[in-house]
């Protein structure tokens, strides 16, 4: 047991990375491995949804999601060149009671119809949500959450150290990819995604003010039972105030409000 603890400590001290905002990140699994395992988890999840007839193919909804997300992807690829080779895709899930959306490592996303039905989102507000989600992937937050889930098992980490010093062990990684969808992000990661997401949405041509109105709607939704989105996206203190304070600087990024080109995004049907 002592040897295992020493191995875990050694891995923890050496497996570090830096986020787009300059924050030090613990990485027990590499971002590249997170993308590989996330793809497996995504395809498995989509397959289950397809069997349950939960994938939306309504042309109007598909066009709206594809257009807004496609503009955000254009800006993401310009700002983060490493994402240009990602397999960008969105599954629109028919679940009117679920207020949620997510983006896995590698650009594989999902949005639930409950977001639109419960929150009555404007295009600008939806752009803020997807910009926020895409930012989690761009900032390698998926790999961080996978690392956290792997860190709960000393045995998994010990095997990882023995077989792959970078932590990209097949044992545990696949399960960690699915578990990462359910684990909450850290408050720091949320603040990073807020900032990067608002930047993406603004550069794509959407109103930065929508970030504030979005979270006002989110806070009101569900009454005593908050939306699932808030369970995996814990709200940092003074979130609305922090978002509002960023609006003037964001406006300067795209003062003309020019809309970005639409990069084709695969809508899973």
Flag whether 213 is in a domain.
Answer: yes
What pLDDT score does 15 carry?
Answer: 58
Flag whether 221 is in a domain.
Answer: yes
Flag whether 156 is in a domain.
Answer: no
**What whole-number distance in Å separates Cα of residue 189 and Cα of residue 208?**
19
Asked if the model's pLDDT at residue 159 lies above 70, the reply is: no
Percentage of the chain beyond pLDDT 70 is 78
State pTM to two decimals.
0.83
Flag whether 5 is in a domain.
Answer: no
What are the tens digits of pLDDT across the range 233-258?
Answer: 777 668 889 999 999 999 999 999 99
CB-based contacts of 196, cutoff 8 Å, min separation 6:
20, 21, 131, 135, 138, 139
Helix (H, G, I), strand (E, B) or coil at 17: strand
- Per-residue pLDDT band for 194 (boundaries 50, 70, 90) equals very high
Q: What are the respective helix, strand and coil percentages of the chain, to the nearest 5?
A: 60, 10, 30
Q: What is the span of the domain harbouring residue 58?
A: 30-146+171-268
Helix (H, G, I), strand (E, B) or coil at 222: coil
Flag whether 141 is in a domain.
Answer: yes
Query: Cβ distance 161 to 105 under 8 Å?
Result: no
Flag whether 162 is in a domain.
Answer: no
**Domain total of the chain:** 1
CA dihedral 139, 141, 146, 152 (to 10 degrees): 130
CB-based contacts of 23, cutoff 8 Å, min separation 6:
188, 192
Flag whether 154 is in a domain.
Answer: no
Considering the chain, what is the average pLDDT of its residues?
Answer: 84
Task: Please list the active-site residues.
Answer: 133
Query: Cβ distance 42 to 55 under 8 Å?
Result: no
Flag whether 133 is in a domain.
Answer: yes
Side-chain-facing half-sphere of 38: CA atoms under 13 Å = 31
Tokens of 193: 């995604």
What are the tens digits of pLDDT across the range 53-95?
Answer: 999 999 999 999 999 999 999 999 999 999 999 999 999 999 9
């Amino acid at each position: 047991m002592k040897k295992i603890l020493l191995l875990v400590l050694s891995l923890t001290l050496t497996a570090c990375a830096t986020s787009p905002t300059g924050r030090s990140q613990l990485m027990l699994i590499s971002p590249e491995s997170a993308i590989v395992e996330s793809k497996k988890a995504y395809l498995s999840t989509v397959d289950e949804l397809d069997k349950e007839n939960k994938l939306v193919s309504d042309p109007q909804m598909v066009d709206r999601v594809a257009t807004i997300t496609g503009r955000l992807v254009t800006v993401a690829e310009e700002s983060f060149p490493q994402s240009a080779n990602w397999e960008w895709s969105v599954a629109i899930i028919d679940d009117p009671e679920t207020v949620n959306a997510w983006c896995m490592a590698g650009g594989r996303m999902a949005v639930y119809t409950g977001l639109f039905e419960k929150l009555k989102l404007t295009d600008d507000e939806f752009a803020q949500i997807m910009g926020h989600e895409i930012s989690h992937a761009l900032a390698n937050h998926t790999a961080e959450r996978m690392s956290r889930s792997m860190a709960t098992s000393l045995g998994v980490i010990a095997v990882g150290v023995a077989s792959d010093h970078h932590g990209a062990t097949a044992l545990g990684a696949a399960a960690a990819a699915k578990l990462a969808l359910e684990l909450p992000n850290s408050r720091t990661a949320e603040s990073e995604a807020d900032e990067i997401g608002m930047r993406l949405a603004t550069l794509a041509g959407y109103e930065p003010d929508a970030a504030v109105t979005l979270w006002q709607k989110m806070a009101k939704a569900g009454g005593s039972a908050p939306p699932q989105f808030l369970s995996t996206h814990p709200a940092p203190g003074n979130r609305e105030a922090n978002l509002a304070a960023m609006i003037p600087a964001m406006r300067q990024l795209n003062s003309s409000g020019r809309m970005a080109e639409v990069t084709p995004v695969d809508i899973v049907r």
